[in-house]
Amino acid sequence: MKHKWAMVIDMDRCTGCGACVVACAAENNTPTAGEAEAAKGRLMHWLRISRYWKREGNETRAIFVPTPCMHCEKAPCEIVCPVYATYHDEDDNLNAMVYNRCIGTRYCANNCPYSVRVFNWWNYTWEKPLDEQLNPDLSVRSRGVMEKCTYCIQRIRRARETAISERREIRDGEVVPACAQTCPPGAIVFGDTADPDSAVSRVLKDPRVFKLMEHLGTDPSTAYLKKQRGPGR
């Protein structure tokens, strides 16, 4: 059965705590860039929390936009890759990444309007005993390749294998990416929109729903919920 995985992030719930970023790094073996490299704009986070300040009368509000890969249906990154290192996974409707094919043109990153792709500038190492915390379910990337949020594809694959061995479909809620699992206010909902009764399909009917840079026509799988404020709303 084909799936269409999607994520919905409730910005009205998000507190900007950053737990999802930490969980993502722990799950996906993303290296810690360090302070100096981060200052150069080389954070390795697959999921970042963009923070904006908005002035409303006398009050200044912070707006947090947790930004993982949008897994666009019409992904701009895919067509520009000369070696099919990033391509569309037709079964899961994911925007997949094959590290071994990647030669590091970084064109995909330039063409991603959300700028969610990160590049391995160095051969990052995990000093002992930190290497013990690496997740064995996925690889550690070498320098020179692009990487990005995969919607925790290793968890999707594991759930699928379990389901196949038990001769059933994947149940709603069986796949939970690390960010959604960790989010303290429960702002991230993940699931299969091919299943009309799944939690994520229900949340997507919320009137607060919007997608990032919808006007670009990328048709993202990641959606946001936010109550619109201000005049005219």
Partner 1 sequence: MSDDSRNHLARAGETALYDELSRSNRVTTRSWYVATGIAFLVFAFGLGAFIYMMATGMGVTGLNRPVFWGVMIILFVFWIGVSHSGTLISAILRITQASWRAPVLRGAEAMTVFALMVGGLFPIMHLGRNWRFYYIVPYPSERQLWPNFRSPLVWDMVAIATYLTGSILFLYFGMIPDLAVARDRSTGWRKKLYTTLAAGFRGSHAEWRRYHVTSTLFAVLIIPVAVSVHSIVSWDFAMAMVPGWHSTIFAPYFVAGAIYSGIAGVITVMAALRWAFKLENHLTERHFDNLGKLLLTMTLIWGYFYFSEFLTTWYSRLPEDWALISSYGGHYLPLFLLMLVCNFLIPLPLLSLGKVRRSIPAIFAVSLVVNVGMWAERALIVVPSLARRNDPSIWHNYFPTWVEISFITGALAMFALLYLLFAKLLPVMAISDIKDHLFRTTDRSVGGTVVPSVAEEESGKEGTP
CB 107 within 8 A of CB 218: no
Strands 118-119 and 146-147: antiparallel
Cβ nearer to partner 1, comparing 10 with 78 = 78
Using the 8-state DSSP alphabet, how is residue 133 labeled?
A: G
Asked if residues 218 and 69 have their Cβ atoms less than 8 Å apart, the reply is: no
CB of 72 to partner 1, least distance (A): 11
The answer to whether residue 216 forms part of the interface with partner 1 (CB under 8 A) is yes
**According to CB under 8 A, which one of 62, 122, 134, 164 is a site residue for partner 1?**
122
**Cβ neighbours for 29, distance < 8 A, ≥ 6 positions apart:** 134, 135, 138, 139, 140, 141
Instruction: Identify whether the C-beta of residue 60 lies closer than 8 Å to the C-beta of residue 10.
Output: no
Pick out residues in 159-198 that bind partner 1 (CB under 8 A): none
Residue 53 interacting with partner 1 (CB under 8 A) = no
Q: Site for partner 1 (CB under 8 A): which residue of 3, 48, 148, 160?
A: 48
Q: Are 29 and 134 in contact (CB under 8 A)?
A: yes
Count residues near partner 1 (CB under 8 A).
45
Among 106, 157, 158, 202, binds partner 1 (CB under 8 A): 106
Q: What are phi and psi of 223, to 5 degrees?
A: -120, 165
**Distance between CA 121 and CA 138 in Å, rounded?**
19
Q: Min. distance of Cβ 32 from partner 1 in angstroms?
A: 14
* 45 within 8 A of 65, measured Cβ to Cβ: no
Show contacts with partner 1 in window 12-41 (CB under 8 A): 37, 40-41
Question: Considering only 5-13, 42-50, 89-97, 197-205, which stretch makes contact with partner 1 by CB under 8 A?
Answer: 42-50
Which helix (H) or strand (E) element contains residue 182?
helix 178-182
**Rule CB under 8 A: is residue 125 a binding residue for partner 1?**
no
Report the residue from 80, 159, 194, 204 that binds partner 1 according to the rule CB under 8 A: 80
Q: Which is nearer to partner 1, 40 or 227 (CB)?
A: 40
Q: Which is nearer to partner 1, 114 or 224 (CB)?
A: 114
Q: Which residue has the tokens 């094959």?
A: 98
User: What is the 8-class DSSP label of residue 140?
Assistant: P
21 and 45 Cβ atoms separated by less than 8 Å: yes
Q: Smallest distance from the beta carbon of 199 to partner 1, in angstroms?
A: 28
Rule CB under 8 A: choose which of 20, 70, 118, 149 binds partner 1: 118
Binding region for partner 1 (CB under 8 A)? 37, 40-43, 48, 50-52, 65, 67, 76, 79-84, 101-107, 109-111, 113-115, 117-123, 142-146, 213, 216
